[in-house]
Structure 1
C-alpha cells in the first residue's frame, strides 16, 4: 500500500459509520466520528500539539538540511494530488523517495489507522513514541526487506501525519525502510513542535 492508497483508506474509512455509498461507488461526506477517542487499540496522545499544527504547507515540514541528511540533497518538495494535503520529495541521484501527508481534518488519528489500515497490512508495528508522540509503522510486506514503509504519528487523538519512505538505489531492498521513515517522522515532529512554540 503506497501513500496515496493509505490516504484514500484513511480519508474514506472514517466516514464509513456516517456516510452512504450510492450505486456509483462514491462515498458521501459526513461529520467526524463521534466515538470516544482513542479506540481500536490505538494509544492516547498524552501531550497533544495544538489543533492547527498541521494547517501549514507539508512541503515546508522538512528543512533543506533534513532533506540533505535523508535524501543526499535538498530537493524541492512537490505538492501531491492526493485527497489530503501532501508533499513528496524524490532524489534525482538515487531515486530515494519521501512522501508526507497531513491528516488535519479530524479523521480520528491513529484510531483510524488501527481500525482501517492495520487489517490490510502484513506488517504493523507499534513504535516507541517519537518525541513523546505515539507512532506505528506498516507495510504490505511482512519483513524488513519491504521496498517501502509508512509511519503514521498521532499529534492529537484526532489528527495525525504519515510519512512514506522508499530507500534510494544503494539501499533499496538492503535496508529496512521503517526506521528510515521513523527518522523522517522525527524530523517532521521537530518542525511541528517549533511551529507550535514548544
Structure 2
C-alpha cells in the first residue's frame, strides 16, 4: 500500500506562530507592572484557555506509544509511521485503507495552544476533551484537526482523515478526532 501524507496542514498548525515575528498585545487602560504583566501574558497565550489539570506529554517519548494497541484496534487505526514536525519533534501517523490518524506532540515550543489560537480561523471551534481545552480546525469533507492543551506549555494535535466510512462513528470526523484525543489524554500521567 502506498503511504501518503494526510496531515501536513494540521501538524503545521501548532508551529505557525513560531514563524511569525510579531505577537499582538492587549491595550492597557492603567499603568504599572501589574498591567504590563497582564498584557505580556495575553500576548503569549493569544487567548488560549489555561489548563486546569495539566498532564505530562513528555512522559511518553515515542509518539507512536501515545495510543495503546487496544485503543488503536478500537479506532481501526494501523500501520504506524514516525515523521518530523515543522518544530523538530517527532509525530506518529497511522494510515490504512479506511483511516488516517496523526498525533503530533508539541513539548518543545513551550506555548501550549497559543500557536493555534494565534492563527485561528473563523470556522474554528473551541471544545473541551476530558477537562482539557481544545480547538477544532481544518474541518473539510473527510477531515478534521484538533489541537489539545495538555498544559500551558504543552499541546498536541490530532489530525483525522476518513478514507472510507467503514465504521458508523467515522461519519462525524471531529467527534471521532475528539475520541482519539481523549484516548491520548487518558494515557498521560499528571504533571509534577
What's the TM-score once normalised by structure 1's chain length? 0.72
Is the aligned partner of 1:89 residue 2:94? yes
Partner Cα separation in structure 1 for residue 16 and residue 175 of structure 2: 28
- Count of equivalent residues: 166
Q: Is this contact kept in 2: 1:48–1:155, CA < 8 A?
A: yes
More contact order relative to length (CA 8 Å, sep ≥ 6): 2
**Which protein shows a greater Rg?**
2
Q: Quick check: 2:55–2:191 contact (8 Å CA) kept in 1?
A: no
Does 2:78 correspond to 1:66? no
1:82-121 equivalence runs, <5 A: 82-83=85-86, 84-91=89-96, 94-116=97-119, 118-119=120-121
* Pairing 1:40–2:46 present: yes
Q: 1:11 aligns with which of 11, 15, 40?
A: 15
Root-mean-square deviation (Å): 2.7
Pick one of 144, 151, 155 that aligns with 1:160: 155
Distance 1:13 1:102, change over 3 A: same
Deviation at residue 44 of structure 1 after TM alignment? 0.8
Gaps of 5+ in 2: 1-5, 23-38
State the TM-score, normalized to the length of structure 2. 0.74
Query: Aligned residue for 1:25?
Result: none
Is the partner of 1:6 in helix, strand or coil? helix
SS of the equivalent of 1:178 reads helix
> How many angstroms does 1:156 deviate by?
1.0
Alpha-carbon distance in 2 for matches of 1:137, 1:159: 17
Contact 1:10 1:107 in 2 (8 A): no
List per-residue Cα deviations over 1:141-181 (Å, max 9, x = no partner): 3xxxx210011100111210000111241259x82200000
Q: Runs of 5+ in structure 1 lacking a partner?
A: 19-33
Structure 2 vs 1, CA of residues 3 and 107 (structure 1 numbering), >3 Å: closer, same or farther?
farther
